[in-house]
A and B are shown apart, each in its own frame.
Chain A
Amino acid sequence: MSAPSQDVATRNGVFVRALIYALLIVFAVYYLLPLYVMVVNSLKPLDEIRQGNMLALPQQWTIAPWLSAWSTAQIGVSPTGLKPYFLNSVLMVVPAVAISTVLGALNGYVLTKWRFKGDNIVFGMMLLACFIPFQIVLIPSARILGLLGLAGSVPGLILIHAIYGLGFTTLFFRNYYEAFPTELVRAAQIDGASFFQIFRRILLPSSGPIIVVTVIWQFTNIWNDFLFGSSFSSVDSIPITVALNNLVNSSTGVKEYNVHFAGAILAALPTLIVYIVSGRYFVRGLMAGAVKG
């Protein structure tokens, strides 16, 4: 969508353009400020934050807060740092993303290339599932996880995330495959190709972009999730977001702001890296999630 800019632009005066640049820069500062505050203060000793200026660069640089946030900070009852919870999140996110993406691709394939009576209703119901407030499924989900013996476990969280991600993954692939020429599928069918052969040989090879978009979307959402993580985890399955919140909002002891900031950056790092490496796809996923149909 990066067509040439509007021609309206060319007629603005120098003053107006200067004003526009100034405003754009002011906003860039606004968006960067919290990140700057986090980074700068995660590299200062605690005293310097308490007495000094939060916006100033460290006078005495230190990576101690980072080491503490990663491996020794008190979280809940144990001084483990964020490391074990970071690993929990990795163990949770990878299978949940993989399962929901594969199923979403197959669902999208069926819903566009093997249409049947009522497929629109099926799709509509899956689509609506994207938008429910998850509060409405918390109580029964807790029951079901208990019945399945998955309460408070990483597999339980994987199951929950995979299921509640299905609506979006199906939506992404359905919209993508909708534009894929059905004639190719029909031709292959006549040549005797099976359901899965057609998917593997014809649709999958051109699905690269939508797979990337879906994986990024799911990864970001599941990594950043707090509600399910805080509702369905126990001591050894707590994901990083919940651990970070425990670190920052535990009321006991001295508030180690520098450790909090380092921890916040650690928790944000995976999604930030994904965003930096593949921002284009990230934006496309957001748009696909926003602009339906």
Chain B
Amino acid sequence: MADTTMTARSAAANPRATLQDLLPKIVLAPSFAVILIFVYGFIAFTAVLSFSGSKLLPDFSTWVGFGNYVRLFNHPNWIVALKNLAIFSILYIVVCSVIGLALAIFLDQKIRGEGVLRPIYLYPMALSFIVTGVAWKWFLDPGIGLEHVMQSIGWESFSFRWIKDGKMAIYTIVIAAVWQSSGFVMAMFLAGLRGVDNEIIKAAQIDGASTLTIYRRIIIPLMRPVFLSAFVVLAHLAIKSYDLVVAMTDGGPGTATWTPALFMQKFTFGRNEMGMGAASAIVMMMMIFTIIVPYLYSELGGKKK
């Protein structure tokens, strides 16, 4: 309506006091300054540290170049952490997406009781990873948990001791993490499904397409942006995974369930290898930024008019 004239006039008639003009920036400035220091300044600090020979405390007198990075990538614990991250993140992302999509499609079939089921699928997201970790740690514990239950109801040979087994322990963390996050992925897909235009589906039905075909050829391809969002969120959570591992296994048995985040913590604060800890944090950040930056760029870029 009159909005174009409004903005034109406000731009012309604007002999306001300087303070009023500056006020918005003054309001924003503290937040921005804090972010500049506590995020970008601190990243720079950690980056510098990663080239220093810091041990117990930051030490800016000895420089080792890329020495910390070289030691990092030659350290067996870091290699284990990277392998675990690969196993964990692939399974976590794939299983969460499959379960999430399946549940969303099922729930979208005019299900009675959807209002009851949806919150049940989603509540784990409200819990802290420590709580999730405690629940699963004891539930999977051979002494009192699943194995014990199965044996006590008569299945004597039942054995499930993954959490105590160096080779399998990382998978128990996947189980708990999937439990925590898959409902959330379901909610993302459900929102996506509900946003699909019904006209397209009706048209396909008139053309005689089967339900399966409609999902495979029309609806799931339309979910591409949801897959992308889910991937970014889950990958980001996976790289940061720390609390859950601490609560369930604290990296054990041995170093079997170390992740990069756990490595950073243990080396920096436990083993007084601050330089290597800083290097590992930088590597983690680069992994996350490789995923996040292009995503944010495309999301924000697409929004600009």
Binding site for B on A (CB under 8 A): 1-12, 17, 20-21, 23-24, 27-28, 30-35, 37-38, 41, 49-50, 52-55, 103, 106-107, 110-111, 114, 116, 120, 122, 124-129, 131-141, 143-144, 163-164, 166-167, 170, 182-183, 186-187, 189-190, 194-196, 220, 223-227, 230-231, 241, 244-245, 248-249, 257, 260-261, 263-265, 267-268, 271-272, 274-276, 279, 282-283, 286-287, 289-293
Interface presence of B159 (CB below 8 A): no
Interface presence of B15 (CB below 8 A): no
Who on chain A is nearest to B205 by CB? Answer: A7
- The answer on a CB contact under 8 Å between A135 and B6 is no
Q: Which A residues are in CB contact (< 8 Å) with B233?
A: 289-290
| Bound Cα distance A27, B6 (Å) | 56
What's the least CB distance linking A182 to chain B, in Å? 8
| Bound Cα distance A260, B247 (Å) | 12
- The answer on a CB contact under 8 Å between B9 and A190 is yes
What's the least CB distance linking A103 to chain B, in Å? 5
- The answer on a CB contact under 8 Å between B296 and A124 is yes
| Bound Cα distance A267, B133 (Å) | 12
- The answer on a CB contact under 8 Å between A248 and B247 is yes
Binding site for A on B (CB under 8 A): 2-3, 6-7, 9-10, 13, 20, 23-25, 27-28, 30-32, 34-36, 38-43, 45-46, 49, 58, 99, 102-103, 106-111, 117, 119-139, 143-146, 148-149, 152-153, 179, 183-184, 187-188, 191, 193-196, 198, 201-202, 205, 211, 214-215, 219, 229-230, 232-233, 236, 239-240, 242-243, 246-247, 250, 261, 264-265, 268-269, 274, 277-278, 280-282, 284-285, 288-289, 292-293, 295-296, 299-300, 302-304
Contact partner, B284, options A136, A260, A287, Cβ 8 Å? A136
Q: Which B residues are in CB contact (< 8 Å) with A248?
A: 134, 137, 247
| List of 6 A-B pairs having minimum Cβ-Cβ separation, nearest first | A224-B128, A114-B24, A275-B126, A34-B135, A226-B243, A293-B299
| Bound Cα distance A223, B127 (Å) | 9
| Bound Cα distance A107, B28 (Å) | 6
- The answer on a CB contact under 8 Å between A164 and B31 is no
What's the least CB distance linking B170 to chain A, in Å? 18
What's the least CB distance linking A264 to chain B, in Å? 4
| Bound Cα distance A125, B117 (Å) | 39
- What total count of A-B pairs have CB within 8 Å? 323
Given contacts A34-B139, A125-B40, A132-B39, A4 and B198 within 8 Å (CB-CB): yes
Among B34, B43, B278, B293, the one with the most A-chain Cβ atoms within 10 Å of its Cβ is B34
Given contacts A37-B139, A291-B188, A244 and B31 within 8 Å (CB-CB): no
| Bound Cα distance A49, B152 (Å) | 12
Contact partner, B42, options A12, A28, A137, A268, Cβ 8 Å? A137
A-B contact pairs, 9 of them (CB 8 A): A8-B211, A21-B111, A34-B135, A138-B265, A139-B58, A220-B126, A231-B269, A272-B126, A290-B230
Contact partner, B121, options A31, A127, A132, A141, Cβ 8 Å? A31
- The answer on a CB contact under 8 Å between A24 and B107 is yes
Q: Which A residues are in CB contact (< 8 Å) with B28?
A: 106-107, 110-111, 122
Q: Which B residues are in CB contact (< 8 Å) with A107?
A: 27-28, 31
Q: Which A residues are in CB contact (< 8 Å) with B111?
A: 20-21, 24
A140-B42, A292-B295 known, 17 other contacts, Cβ within 8 Å:
A3-B198, A5-B110, A53-B148, A110-B24, A134-B240, A135-B280, A138-B264, A140-B41, A170-B31, A187-B6, A189-B10, A264-B134, A276-B119, A279-B119, A279-B122, A290-B230, A292-B229
